[in-house]
Amino acid sequence: MNEDLVAKIREEASTITGKDRAGQVTYENNKEFKWAHAVVLETLRLHPSIPKNIRFALKADKIPGGPVIEAGDAVRWRWVDQSGSGIQEAVFNVS
Protein backbone atom coordinates (compact mmCIF):
# COMPACT_ATOMS: atom_id res chain seq x y z
CA MET A 1 0.00 0.00 0.00
CA ASN A 2 1.26 3.48 -0.83
CA GLU A 3 1.25 5.22 2.55
CA ASP A 4 1.92 8.65 1.02
CA LEU A 5 -1.09 8.30 -1.25
CA VAL A 6 -3.28 7.09 1.62
CA ALA A 7 -2.21 10.16 3.61
CA LYS A 8 -3.09 12.45 0.68
CA ILE A 9 -6.54 10.89 0.35
CA ARG A 10 -7.17 11.16 4.09
CA GLU A 11 -6.08 14.80 4.09
CA GLU A 12 -8.27 15.46 1.05
CA ALA A 13 -11.28 13.87 2.78
CA SER A 14 -10.61 15.79 5.97
CA THR A 15 -10.32 19.07 4.09
CA ILE A 16 -13.47 18.49 2.04
CA THR A 17 -15.72 17.09 4.78
CA GLY A 18 -14.31 19.01 7.76
CA LYS A 19 -11.56 18.41 10.28
CA ASP A 20 -14.00 17.04 12.86
CA ARG A 21 -15.14 14.44 10.30
CA ALA A 22 -18.73 15.49 10.96
CA GLY A 23 -19.20 16.32 7.30
CA GLN A 24 -20.51 13.85 4.79
CA VAL A 25 -19.71 13.09 1.20
CA THR A 26 -22.44 14.63 -0.92
CA TYR A 27 -23.15 14.83 -4.61
CA GLU A 28 -21.70 18.34 -4.65
CA ASN A 29 -18.50 17.75 -2.68
CA ASN A 30 -17.89 14.35 -4.29
CA LYS A 31 -16.56 16.24 -7.32
CA GLU A 32 -13.77 17.69 -5.15
CA PHE A 33 -12.19 14.31 -4.34
CA LYS A 34 -9.47 14.49 -7.02
CA TRP A 35 -6.97 12.08 -5.41
CA ALA A 36 -9.59 9.49 -4.47
CA HIS A 37 -11.05 9.66 -7.98
CA ALA A 38 -7.59 9.23 -9.53
CA VAL A 39 -6.91 6.17 -7.35
CA VAL A 40 -10.18 4.54 -8.40
CA LEU A 41 -9.43 5.15 -12.09
CA GLU A 42 -5.86 3.87 -11.78
CA THR A 43 -7.05 0.76 -9.93
CA LEU A 44 -9.58 0.02 -12.67
CA ARG A 45 -6.92 0.59 -15.33
CA LEU A 46 -4.49 -1.84 -13.73
CA HIS A 47 -7.13 -4.33 -12.61
CA PRO A 48 -10.15 -3.90 -14.90
CA SER A 49 -13.45 -5.34 -13.79
CA ILE A 50 -14.02 -6.49 -17.37
CA PRO A 51 -10.82 -8.10 -18.70
CA LYS A 52 -12.07 -8.11 -22.27
CA ASN A 53 -14.57 -6.16 -24.29
CA ILE A 54 -16.26 -6.60 -27.68
CA ARG A 55 -17.43 -3.91 -30.08
CA PHE A 56 -18.66 -4.08 -33.67
CA ALA A 57 -17.11 -1.92 -36.39
CA LEU A 58 -19.55 0.55 -37.93
CA LYS A 59 -17.33 1.06 -40.98
CA ALA A 60 -14.21 -0.47 -42.49
CA ASP A 61 -10.91 0.68 -41.03
CA LYS A 62 -7.27 -0.35 -40.82
CA ILE A 63 -5.46 -0.54 -37.51
CA PRO A 64 -1.98 1.02 -37.92
CA GLY A 65 0.48 -1.85 -38.17
CA GLY A 66 -2.39 -4.33 -37.92
CA PRO A 67 -5.29 -5.87 -39.79
CA VAL A 68 -8.09 -4.36 -41.86
CA ILE A 69 -11.38 -4.31 -39.98
CA GLU A 70 -14.48 -4.65 -42.15
CA ALA A 71 -17.81 -3.04 -41.29
CA GLY A 72 -19.72 -5.39 -38.98
CA ASP A 73 -16.62 -7.24 -37.76
CA ALA A 74 -16.50 -8.01 -34.05
CA VAL A 75 -13.47 -6.36 -32.46
CA ARG A 76 -12.28 -7.66 -29.11
CA TRP A 77 -9.53 -6.21 -26.99
CA ARG A 78 -8.34 -7.37 -23.64
CA TRP A 79 -5.79 -6.58 -20.98
CA VAL A 80 -4.13 -10.00 -21.10
CA ASP A 81 -1.43 -11.40 -23.36
CA GLN A 82 -1.70 -14.54 -25.51
CA SER A 83 -0.93 -16.78 -22.51
CA GLY A 84 -3.70 -15.20 -20.43
CA SER A 85 -1.38 -13.25 -18.13
CA GLY A 86 -2.36 -9.70 -17.25
CA ILE A 87 -0.56 -6.99 -19.21
CA GLN A 88 0.98 -4.61 -16.70
CA GLU A 89 1.26 -1.03 -17.86
CA ALA A 90 3.40 1.58 -16.18
CA VAL A 91 1.72 3.31 -13.27
CA PHE A 92 0.00 6.53 -14.31
CA ASN A 93 1.44 9.62 -12.63
CA VAL A 94 -1.51 11.62 -11.26
CA SER A 95 0.51 14.56 -9.98
Sorted by where each begins, the domain ranges of the chain are 1-47, 51-83
Query: Which secondary structure element, helix H or strand E, spans residue 52, and what is its range?
Result: strand 52-56
pLDDT at 47 over 80: no
Greater model confidence, 38 or 66: 38
Report residue 32 CA to chain centroid gap: 18
pLDDT in tens, 1-44: 789 999 999 999 989 998 665 678 888 889 999 999 999 998 88
Closest CA to 17 of 40, 57, 9, 82: 9
Report residue 46 CA to chain centroid gap: 7
Side chain identity at residue 63, one-letter code: I
